[in-house]
Amino acid sequence: MARLILFNKPFNVLTQFSGEGETLADYIKVKDVYPAGRLDKDSEGLLLLTDDGKLQARIADPKFKLTKTYLVQVEGVPDAAALDHLRKGVVLKDGPTRPAQAEAIDPPDLWPRDPPVRFRKSVPDSWLSLTISEGRNRQVRRMTAAVGFPTLRLVRWRIGDWSLDGLAPGQWRDATARRG
């Protein structure tokens, strides 16, 4: 049976097992597991790791349309038109995105980020829940910027049926390797 690990990747950790700075090796002492997908160094949240190449491909490959839900703190307060634009798909330099599920949410009850997000008295911030079914490089950040609301903090909360529920930053647990 395939091994599947759910990991809450802290801010500023590389999603690889070697390199300069903090890496997965600083948190996960399990041999022969590899990330299924990626999460930027400046993003936080759910990262799946597995020892099964087929499962890894099924999780990471956009053709399987496994949804990924992000909690996104943005600069400004998106209006209905901006949210509708995200829902219909945004045109980026590498082409249009698939439609997303996008909604304004109350600030989630998350752990503090270290270092904290920059706060500006003159510019409000707000939170979105954004669910996408593809995974281009820095896609969520580029999507929110394209509609005029740059991302300040990005936390991947869910991939398919797997979520961060109950995992603090830097913690991991084994999960059932089922199709998400």
Q: For the domain that residue 21 is a member of, what is the CATH number?
A: 3.30.70.580
Active-site hit among 26, 32, 40, 161: 40
The answer on pLDDT for 180 being more than 50 is no
118 within some domain: yes
Residues 106 and 167 in one domain: no
CATH code of the domain in which 150 resides: 3.30.70.1560
85 within some domain: yes
Cα separation of 174 and 5, whole Å?
5
- Amino acid 172 reads W
Beta carbons of 155 and 44 less than 8 angstroms apart:
yes
Residues 143 and 96 in one domain: yes
Query: How confident is the model at residue 171, as a pLDDT?
Result: 97
Residues 52 and 73 in one domain: no
Q: Label each residue of 97-126 as H, E or C.
A: CCCCEEEEECCCCCCCCCCCCCCCCCCCEE
Residues 143 and 129 in one domain: yes
Beta carbons of 51 and 34 less than 8 angstroms apart:
yes
138 within some domain: yes
CA dist 9 to 64, 81, 146, Å?
Answer: 23, 32, 26
CB atoms within 10 A of CB 115: 8
Residues 16 and 75 in one domain: no
Q: How far is CA 169 from the centre of its chain?
A: 13
180 within some domain: no
Residues 153 and 165 in one domain: no
Question: How would DSSP label each residue in 35-58?
Answer: ESS---TT-EEEEEEES-HHHHHH
Residues 83 and 51 in one domain: no
The answer on pLDDT for 82 being more than 80 is yes
Q: How many domains does the chain have?
A: 2
Residues 72 and 113 in one domain: yes
- Put simply, whether the predicted model's pTM sits higher than 0.85 gets the answer yes
Residues 155 and 166 in one domain: no
Whether 165 sits among the annotated catalytic residues: the reply is no
Domain residue limits at 92: 67-159
Residues 128 and 46 in one domain: no
Segment 12-57, tens digit of pLDDT: 999 999 989 999 999 999 999 999 988 999 999 999 999 998 888 8
Residue 8 DSSP one-character state: E
Segment 124-142, tens digit of pLDDT: 999 999 999 988 889 999 9
Residues 75 and 126 in one domain: yes
Task: Indicate the average pLDDT of the chain.
Answer: 92
Residues 91 and 153 in one domain: yes
